[in-house]
A and B are shown apart, each in its own frame.
Chain A
């Protein structure tokens, strides 16, 4: 009985099939676990270790290096306010202060109702649209304190604030843990075939046999 539920288990198997070595799937599977649970539980790490031929300690060792993985429960909405220089110049720090004071938590903290976690983050690649923040990695560009308040009010009221964003996303903001809502899916008859490197003995079919001699 897998820790993953049936639909996530199916995705996990697809992910594993895309890598020549199973350990490469550790980070994608950690994302998948976080999508299912909202954070990375010890049981999830044990399951991922079993699926990838590693140990739970190795999974934690890898996962804890990366900021997006949470090893404790966080809010349903993780709000990342950028304060790096491009945003700092145009009010990023003031925006963070506003977020902290209106939600009543310091950066890294979660509101008592479990709705919001606020983070003070590094550059999120929206520098021309400073200052900016993201909610579960959906962007809100050229944001001021009013933008922030409106987005929070929307989320509290169960409305999607994405229309206020400038990111090209439609629909609702998914709960924390869900990144891309479209997943790669390779039909069996289109797959080139993923093989472990040790099973490959020569050049691929399209390379001329004499390539080795011709190259210089």
Chain B
């Protein structure tokens, strides 16, 4: 207990790499308009306003700005899906960050709300989006306060609202609070929620709300981090952006590393070229597994991603390579677990998350995730049955049929199954619940079996510690 007043949400760790979205983070007043303007704030917007809207869009497309919410779809391409001649069009910002292990959008909203607002305005200008809804997770009270303050400042100073900076651009940005539901991070569920409904994903097609979105109108839904990159691209250009990272994953990205590392943190990292090993063991990053312990496994891309192991350390943080190895980079959330971790307990806890957060629309997910949780809970309680391991896999197969994405297990001669999973559901929530199960059963089946056969030494009767049962 230090008792010291810390002006910022903790977690961000500076490293010497290039900075796109965290350049203001070291300043204690990074969230104010004054600091923003003193450090190049709204210059990206000014640059954009000197170009034609389609030129702005082309810049973002050329930068190959990949969406940072989880799916990694190129934002510039997504922006191009609005049908012609259909007005109005809307922008919805997904700030409902809830994926287990993910802690980056909250930082971006708390520490640099003006950067996000600027990104929103540029997107609105490029595509003719006439109103923006900034959907912030309900539990993030400080982010709500910081964004409200920033919007009030920006409206007063002429950056948001009617005739932005004296131009024809007129956009209202509406701050909207969520109310606690992971599924609302799915973009069509987000739109349902914004329309005042239960946050349940819509049936596809259409696959993108750019076709039919909010109030049935063309709607661009972008993640907070995605839009936070846009001002930099406007001031420095797409070519400069592509100089960072790799050909297929350019730019930088925020990775949240939590769990059993010496220095957990949110790091801005060049995509594609940095490896998991760099991140976990590098001096500038996590500085190794916590003292004296060894890596057992890690979750590479948020709670929805299949788990990785020591042999994956040299993979680069690059979507295609991680996908081929059986997982995904998802939301850039990495959870590191050392050898003291109980694989069955960790698996149960992650599955419990999906069971609690299932919206209930599709039966395979509504029923299946709860079955999975119940079976894992009874295994943990010492009531597991020998058939439970197969039953878990069978329930998973009903949510995501066929081979489920999973890492290779060389000792057993098992090859990787590449990402993504198939699904019998509208959205990926249900299929995601299968990831912890197949990942841990393939690798640590013996831990499940030990729990089931009670070979871990739990006495048959806790009431008779002397072991005189039936004597």
* Chain A complexes with chain B: yes
With a CB–CB cut-off of 8 A, which chain B residues contact A168? 6-9, 110, 142, 146
Contact check, A201 vs B9: say whether CB atoms are below 8 A apart: no
Binary CB contact string for chain B from 429 to 465 against chain A (1 if under 8 A, 0 otherwise): 0000000000000000000000000000000000000
Task: Tell me the complex Cα distance, A123–B305, Å.
Answer: 15
- Assuming the contacts A67-B180, A122-B182, A128-B258, asked whether A211 and B53 have C-beta atoms less than 8 A apart, the reply is yes
Contact check, A122 vs B357: say whether CB atoms are below 8 A apart: yes
Task: Tell me the complex Cα distance, A85–B297, Å.
Answer: 13
Residue of B nearest to A20 (CB): B215
With a CB–CB cut-off of 8 A, which chain B residues contact A138? 141-142
With a CB–CB cut-off of 8 A, which chain A residues contact B387? none
Contact check, A191 vs B161: say whether CB atoms are below 8 A apart: yes
Q: Is B101 an interface residue (CB 8 A)?
A: yes
Q: Is A182 an interface residue (CB 8 A)?
A: yes
Binary CB contact string for chain A from 190 to 216 against chain B (1 if under 8 A, 0 otherwise): 111111010011111111100110110
With a CB–CB cut-off of 8 A, which chain A residues contact B299? 85
Contact check, B100 vs A86: say whether CB atoms are below 8 A apart: yes
Binary CB contact string for chain B from 239 to 276 against chain A (1 if under 8 A, 0 otherwise): 00000000000000000111110001110000000000
Residue of B nearest to A48 (CB): B196
Task: Tell me the complex Cα distance, A30–B179, Å.
Answer: 9
Of the candidates A18, A146, A169, the one whose C-beta lies within 8 Å of that of B142 is A169
- Assuming the contacts A141-B10, A212-B84, asked whether A122 and B100 have C-beta atoms less than 8 A apart, the reply is yes
Q: Is A57 an interface residue (CB 8 A)?
A: no
- Assuming the contacts A84-B349, A85-B101, A127-B333, asked whether A193 and B11 have C-beta atoms less than 8 A apart, the reply is no
- Assuming the contacts A187-B155, A197-B215, A206-B169, asked whether A27 and B193 have C-beta atoms less than 8 A apart, the reply is yes
Contact check, B168 vs A189: say whether CB atoms are below 8 A apart: no
Whole-angstrom distance from the CB of B198 to the nearest CB of chain A? 4
Whole-angstrom distance from the CB of B206 to the nearest CB of chain A? 17
Of the candidates A63, A80, A122, the one whose C-beta lies within 8 Å of that of B356 is A122
With a CB–CB cut-off of 8 A, which chain B residues contact A21? 195-196, 215
Binary CB contact string for chain A from 53 to 73 against chain B (1 if under 8 A, 0 otherwise): 010000001110111110000
Residues facing A in B160-191 (CB within 8 A) are 160-162, 167-172, 174-182
Contact check, A66 vs B179: say whether CB atoms are below 8 A apart: yes
Residues facing B in A96-152 (CB within 8 A) are 122-130, 134, 136-139, 141, 146-147, 150
Whole-angstrom distance from the CB of B122 to the nearest CB of chain A? 12
Whole-angstrom distance from the CB of B194 to the nearest CB of chain A? 6
Task: Tell me the complex Cα distance, A66–B194, Å.
Answer: 13
Contact check, B149 vs A27: say whether CB atoms are below 8 A apart: no
- Assuming the contacts A27-B179, A169-B142, A215-B84, asked whether A193 and B170 have C-beta atoms less than 8 A apart, the reply is yes
Residue of B nearest to A122 (CB): B353
With a CB–CB cut-off of 8 A, which chain B residues contact A65? 181, 198-199, 359
Of the candidates B6, B54, B174, B259, the one whose C-beta lies within 8 Å of that of A89 is B259
Contact check, A68 vs B195: say whether CB atoms are below 8 A apart: no
Q: Is B130 an interface residue (CB 8 A)?
A: yes
Task: Tell me the complex Cα distance, A27–B194, Å.
Answer: 8
Binary CB contact string for chain B from 294 to 315 against chain A (1 if under 8 A, 0 otherwise): 0000010001000000000000
Q: Is A10 an interface residue (CB 8 A)?
A: no
Whole-angstrom distance from the CB of A169 to the nearest CB of chain B? 6
Most chain A CB inside 10 Å of its own CB: which residue of B10, B105, B346: B10
Contact check, A28 vs B176: say whether CB atoms are below 8 A apart: yes
Whole-angstrom distance from the CB of B392 to the nearest CB of chain A? 18
Q: Is B225 an interface residue (CB 8 A)?
A: no
With a CB–CB cut-off of 8 A, which chain B residues contact A153? none
Whole-angstrom distance from the CB of B79 to the nearest CB of chain A? 11
Task: Tell me the complex Cα distance, A85–B303, Å.
Answer: 9
Contact check, A69 vs B84: say whether CB atoms are below 8 A apart: no
Q: Is B52 an interface residue (CB 8 A)?
A: yes
- Assuming the contacts A122-B182, A163-B3, asked whether A86 and B101 have C-beta atoms less than 8 A apart, the reply is yes
- Assuming the contacts A65-B199, A204-B88, asked whether A190 and B177 have C-beta atoms less than 8 A apart, the reply is no
Q: Is A25 an interface residue (CB 8 A)?
A: yes
Whole-angstrom distance from the CB of A155 to the nearest CB of chain B? 16
- Assuming the contacts A65-B181, A68-B139, A85-B350, asked whether A191 and B162 have C-beta atoms less than 8 A apart, the reply is yes
Q: Is A166 an interface residue (CB 8 A)?
A: yes
With a CB–CB cut-off of 8 A, which chain B residues contact A83? 349
Binary CB contact string for chain B from 1 to 29 against chain A (1 if under 8 A, 0 otherwise): 10111111111000000000000000000
Contact check, A67 vs B54: say whether CB atoms are below 8 A apart: no
- Assuming the contacts A18-B174, A65-B181, A89-B259, asked whether A123 and B162 have C-beta atoms less than 8 A apart, the reply is no
Contact check, A89 vs B88: say whether CB atoms are below 8 A apart: no
Residue of B nearest to A202 (CB): B87
Contact check, B215 vs A206: say whether CB atoms are below 8 A apart: no
Q: Is B99 an interface residue (CB 8 A)?
A: yes
With a CB–CB cut-off of 8 A, which chain A residues contact B142? 138-139, 167-169, 180
List 21 contacting pairs A-B, 8 Å CB cutoff, sorted by A.
A23-B197, A27-B178, A27-B193, A31-B177, A65-B359, A84-B353, A86-B335, A128-B256, A129-B10, A139-B142, A147-B1, A168-B146, A179-B144, A184-B148, A184-B174, A186-B161, A192-B131, A193-B162, A200-B88, A204-B130, A211-B53
Chain A residues close to B by CB (< 8 Å): 18-21, 23-28, 30-31, 52, 54, 61-63, 65-69, 80, 83-86, 88-90, 122-130, 134, 136-139, 141, 146-147, 150, 163-170, 179-187, 189-195, 197, 200-208, 211-212, 214-215
Chain B residues close to A by CB (< 8 Å): 1, 3-11, 52-54, 84-85, 87-88, 97-103, 105-106, 110, 125, 128, 130-131, 137-142, 144-146, 148-149, 151-152, 155-156, 158, 160-162, 167-172, 174-182, 193-199, 215-217, 256-260, 264-266, 299, 303, 333, 335, 337, 341, 345-346, 349-350, 353, 356-357, 359
Q: Which 7 A-B pairs have the closest CB atoms?
A: A180-B144, A66-B179, A67-B180, A23-B196, A127-B258, A26-B196, A206-B168
